[in-house]
Amino acid sequence: MSNVGLVADRFADRGAAERRLADGGEDAGQAPALLPRLLRGLHGQGQMSLEEHLSVHGQVATARARRRRQESPLIATVEQAGLRGCGGAGFPTATKLRAVAGARGRAIVVVNAAEGEPASRKDRTLMELLPHLVLDGAELAAQAVGADEIIVCVCETVPASQQSAVTAIDERRRHAGARVRTHLSLVPGHYVAGQESALVNYLGGGAAVPTFTPPLPFERGVRRRPTLVSNAETLAHLALIARHGPEWFRQLGTPSQPGSALVTLSGPVSQPGVYEIEHGASLTSLVDAAGGITSPPRALLVGGYGGSWIGGELLPGVVLSDEHLAAHGATLGAGVLALLSADACAVAETARVARWLADQSSGQCGPCVYGLDAIATGVEELASGVRTGAAAQRVTRLAGLVRRRGACGHPDGAARFVTSALETFAPEFSEHAHNGPCEACTRYSELPLPSPTPARARGRARAGGARARDSR
Amino acid sequence: MSERLRVNPIACEAHGMCAELLPERVTLDDWGYPIVDDRPLPPALLDHARRAAQACPTLALLLERDRRR
């Protein structure tokens, strides 16, 4: 397995970007085979202007379909590159493009930078510092699917992304390069708001909550038009693939997971933040690039709060590719890599996140509303030592009960997080069940959660009892 | 072409009719929401499944033909 996963530019959370590897002033548009790719040319003074962006990456040679009704050549290029969605689900981007392009009616492109995942910062970072790369990708995708409108969705609680997106859209308007009408939409900050159908529902004037599918957005999306919902990072990769081609893209990564990816590294490292890695890079190389460990890690959470834990003893061998992570029951997902230090209480952290996940249910599907609440209560009981013995089995059973029972994947993710925590932290859970809270339980909390916790989007009112709910 | 049962979990309000009418394929969870066996329905159950779907007060029980994606 490749271990050359060079970690490129990193920037600290507070936006004070700091170059790590100089990129040595190549000519504009010349493709660097190695890293950084997306983060190339970052200068540490905030947003990259359109002029700077073009001097780093060059113009895109737009490949239009020669005739109407003929597929855009970009779709085949993206397919050869093997680009997959970077929002978490990893769906092949070319398949999505093709579905939208083939659907009846004028399409819409939705740039998804909502990033409701509390431990992820990559999309907001992209929007804040490199908006033109994302907008290039959105315009190219719009051309490929025949869309005449782009909606850029950023989280309403992240002013930096908003400001940067406004400036960038305006810059492109003035520069005449913008061929597709582009506007900004601020979406609520709760966890499921960035889910594809929730975003489409919100943009159509409804609440930012998932809807029952079908219809999928490509069939009937925003204003009933075929809609391509694509993660911001995915579009940024697409912008570079359109410039440099599929072979270039595949020079990094593994055959099954080509290219690079943005990851958000948090926890006990010297410089937590957003990094660009090569798929197949070792975790060790990433941690080294982040200045090394500051205290011994107990475990690593991969993929976010719907993801899986890997125990600390296994971390030296961890390789950041889905092929390798599958053995640990994990996928890279949206690139969240959250180290938990051994000083923190893994049980209290699990309980806190489990409760947060329950609160983030949009309150629509019974198994999610009642199931996640019951799971969170079970974990809290285990943490406080109220219940012992069969309580852990009960939580595991409930986690199995909620899987695939919601309109979206939220219950599945929450169940995965909790079951994985129960396995990885089995000794700690057993210790708490018998002896009650430990000294570290209340000392501090490490896993990032938004504060204060945003209330669930739609009504606790509806969770008042299955049989007493309003009929619609 | 086979048919399968599916629940629209947003529409479902746990009336439990489906489990009464089609216990072969539907059980209820701890909170009264249906757990549906989504394997293709054998011909002998098709009529019962249709009746259960029609009886759901919120029309949340769906009989679906296999579709791609």
pLDDT digits (tens, 9 = 90+) for A378-420: 999 999 888 666 888 999 999 999 999 999 999 999 999 999 9
Indicate if A260-341 has the same CATH topology as A28-249.
no
For chain A, give every domain's residue range. 28-249, 260-341, 346-463
Q: At what angle do helices A410-424 and A366-384 cross, to 10 degrees?
A: 20
Q: How far does the CA of residue B8 sit from the closest CA of chain A (Å)? A: 7
* Torsion angles phi and psi, residue A234, rounded to 5: -55, -45
Rounded average pLDDT over A423-427: 96
- Judge whether residue A472 has pLDDT over 80: no
* Whole-Å CA distances, A8 to A28, A38, A121, A137: 19, 10, 16, 21
- Judge whether residue A8 has pLDDT over 90: no
- On average, the pLDDT of chain A sits at 87
Contacts of B32 in chain A (CB under 8 A): 366, 466-467
For chain B, give every domain's residue range. 3-65
- Per the CB < 8 Å rule, is A466 touching B31? yes
Q: Which of B9, B15, B58 sits opposite A406 (nearest CB)?
A: B9
Q: Tell me the pLDDT tens digit for each residue of A337-374.
A: 999 999 999 999 999 999 999 999 999 999 999 999 99
Of the options 1.10.1040.10, 1.20.1260.10, 1.20.1440.230, 3.30.360.10, the CATH number for the domain spanning A346-463: 1.20.1440.230
Give the percent of chain A with pLDDT over 90.
Answer: 76
- Per the CB < 8 Å rule, is A406 touching B33? no
Of the options 3.40.50.11540, 3.90.1150.140, 3.40.50.300, 3.20.20.70, the CATH number for the domain spanning A28-249: 3.40.50.11540
Q: Tell me if chain B has a CB within 8 Å of the CB of A406.
A: yes
Reported CATH class of domain B3-65: alpha beta
Q: Which of A212, A406, A466 sits opposite B13 (nearest CB)?
A: A466
Q: Which of B7, B31, B69 sits opposite A370 (nearest CB)?
A: B31
How far apart are the C-alpha atoms of A222 and A199, rounded to whole Å? Answer: 9
Find which of A216, A365, A404 to mutate to test the B interface (most B CBs within 10 Å of its CB): A365
- Per the CB < 8 Å rule, is B35 touching A401? yes
Is the preceding omega at residue A92 within 30 degrees of 0, hence cis? Answer: no
- Per the CB < 8 Å rule, is A467 touching B32? yes
Architecture of domain A260-341: Roll (3.10)
**ipTM over 0.90 threshold:** yes
Q: Which of B31, B67, B69 sits opposite A366 (nearest CB)?
A: B31
Q: Tell me if chain B has a CB within 8 Å of the CB of A195.
A: no
- Judge whether residue A62 has pLDDT over 70: no
Instruction: Count contacts between A and B (CB, < 8 Å).
Output: 58
Q: Tell me if chain B has a CB within 8 Å of the CB of A374.
A: yes
CA dihedral A251, A252, A257, A260 (to 10 degrees): -130
Q: Which has the closest alpha carbon to A124: A194, A54, A58?
A: A194
Residues of B with CB under 8 A from a CB of A: 7-15, 29-33, 35, 57-58, 67, 69
Q: Tell me the pLDDT tens digit for each residue of A214-246.
A: 889 998 999 999 999 999 999 999 999 999 999
Model confidence, pTM: 0.89
**pLDDT-based confidence at residue B67 (cuts at 50, 70, 90):** low
